[in-house]
Chain A
Amino acid sequence: MARTRPSETGAFSEAEAIRRAQQGDAAAFERIYQLHSRRVYALCLRMVGNTADAEDLTQEAFLQLFRKIGTFRGESAFSTWLHRLSVNVVLMRLRRKTLPATSLEETTEPDEESGGPRRDFGGPDVRLSGSVDRVHIERAVQQLPPGYKSIFVLHDVQGYEHNEIATIMNCSIGNSKSQLHKARMRLRELLQEDARSQARELRQADKAKKGSAGTD
């Protein structure tokens, strides 16, 4: 049985792959997939937080790309074009998922960015420096509204510059910067809340331990 393996597609350049893909060349499609699939998959995985949806979205993003590749004229970088398309595919999915979960009560005081409910955060500030790691960030990012999540993942995780994000997200550079700041501030609140609840649990466990020791 014949199979396509990475080594079989040759090492032709991205520009050559695009030109050949526009003519329907199968090896060119695979070359483009080889060049960009890891980055697109990583973006999808970080945005949705589970592998099943990330695989599905990666497939959808590349299918949309291949359907539209004939219209690519090279005005923007190909990778920017692909990532814009991928972000749109992910945002469509996230918005479809989040809409039904919003109740009428929750929309009375909408969040500025998401249109969803604004969360209240209480208690004293908790210092994050030294206590926040990749796992905490990953968990907190999944709680961000889709718009903040996109900007944060693109800039702070995937390493895009604001001018690239502005093209991908179809916004101004200034808007990208201010949205990133808001996303970081929201993440800080989420992480602080997480740290506070952990501290509470520890205190309660400690109290329970002391209580049981006292009765012995």
Chain B
Amino acid sequence: MHCQHFEEMLAQQPDGPLPLAAADHLDTCLRCRLLREDLQAIGIAAREWGREEPTPPPRVWAAIQIQLQAEGLIAEPSPHGRGLYLQPAANRGWFAGWLTAAPRLELAGAYLLLLLIAAGLAGYRTSLPANPLDRPSAAISAPALDGLGPALDGNMQRVVASFSEYDGSVARSLRRNLGIVDNLIAVCEKSVREHPGDPLAREYLYGAYQQKADLLAVAMDRSTLEIK
């Protein structure tokens, strides 16, 4: 057997036992013996790498849950009675479900409050360098995030309360959707607490707050349309 034949044999049977002719060739050819040893060393290192089993952080599942709900892919309540709050069977988005039935909403100060939240988010956002990976953890100050959650919660309670005055089912649906976003926020906050220096964790938390602000904005938009 020649070296070229040996390599062709390796390509056809990269892991199988060597045929007798190939084994004989290895006894006499240092080049092919080194090749085989190197490939074996690569295989051993690869298997060692494969033994590590990294776990995705909880925020990945939280984000999937939100998206599943947004796309209306989840049709029935969980039989366990906990976990996701679920929409009735429908191929509609989670906003659409309650917006189609939304009542008139008259919150005179709502826009002002939304503007305050938006300003808070914008201030937080502009304090960050363009590349998230370059952001030092100090750039995303704890006070900037601390004020955001309670502010959003307070506004949401007002919006939900005003919906309740007109249509209890819409308020319930809104609460469900709030529950999902709050779920995501809780997971992200936990992640930030556990990894305070991780800019990605803070980015996810910012995104979660933004989703809650978006929810508030859509509710207010809807109320304005109804008023008109």
Contact = CB atoms under 8 A, between A and B. Distances in A.
Contacts of A127: 34, 37-38
Contacts of A148: none
Interface in B65-97: 65, 67-68, 71, 73-80, 82-86, 89
A142 to B, nearest CB: 12
Contacts of B39: 184-185, 188
B40 interface: yes
A192 to B, nearest CB: 8
B68 A66 contact: yes
Given A67-B71, A177-B14, A181-B14, A46 B49 contact: yes
B57 interface: yes
Contacts of A27: 78-80, 83
Contacts of B34: 125, 127, 129
A interface bracket (residues with beta carbon within 8 Å of B): 35 or more
Interface string B40-52: 1111011111101
Nearest to A158: B50
A188 to B, nearest CB: 5
Contacts of A133: 45, 48
Contacts of B173: none
A25 B78 contact: yes
Interface in A146-189: 152, 156-159, 174, 177-178, 180-182, 184-185, 187-188
Contacts of A2: 82-85, 179, 183
B14 A184 contact: yes
A41 B52 CA distance: 12
B49 A1 contact: no
A26 B176 CA distance: 14
Contacts of A63: 64, 67-68
A159 B51 CA distance: 10
Interface stretch (A29-37, A94-102, A112-120, A196-204): A29-37
B138 to A, nearest CB: 20
B143 interface: no
Contact of B42 (A24, A29, A55, A188): A188
B14, B37, B46, B82 — most chain A CB neighbours (10 Å):
B46
B83 A191 contact: no
B166 interface: no
A152 B14 CA distance: 12
Given A8-B80, A63-B64, A152-B46, 4 more contacts: A52-B133, A55-B60, A59-B64, A181-B11
17 contacts: A2-B84, A2-B179, A2-B183, A5-B82, A5-B83, A8-B82, A26-B86, A37-B56, A38-B53, A46-B49, A51-B200, A52-B133, A63-B64, A127-B34, A156-B50, A157-B50, A184-B43
